[in-house]
Amino acid sequence: MHVGFGAFELHLPYVRDLKAKRRIVKSLVDRLHARHRVSVAETGHHDLLQRAQIGVAVVASTSFDVERILVTIEELVAQETEAVVLDWQPEILGEET
């Protein structure tokens, strides 16, 4: 079993109110979960309008599968037009058999 996880630090430059931030973050979280069946949630910067942190976790049978999913997720988040990725440093933990 292999586990991959990480957190996206996002800048939301066009957000002017909490409703707009929630719309962007919820949409992104829902898309990530629906397309890749990963665990994903807003995990930080709840008190800042133009910042968001989204945590992601995935479990797969091989580290290759985990890495492939994490790369695909990174590409999807980078395509978000209303958010800029400031940081993304995923980690993969594995069990050698």
- Confidence bin at 96 (pLDDT 50/70/90): low
**CATH T-level topology, domain 2-91:** Alpha-Beta Plaits (3.30.70)
Q: Residues 5-25: what's their mean pLDDT?
A: 96
Q: Residues 38-57: what's their mean pLDDT?
A: 96
Q: What is the pLDDT of residue 69?
A: 96
Q: What is the pLDDT of residue 39?
A: 96
- Confidence bin at 60 (pLDDT 50/70/90): very high
For the chain, the average pLDDT equals 94
Residue 32 in contact with residue 56, Cβ under 8 Å?
yes
77 three-state secondary structure? helix
pLDDT greater than 90 at residue 50: yes
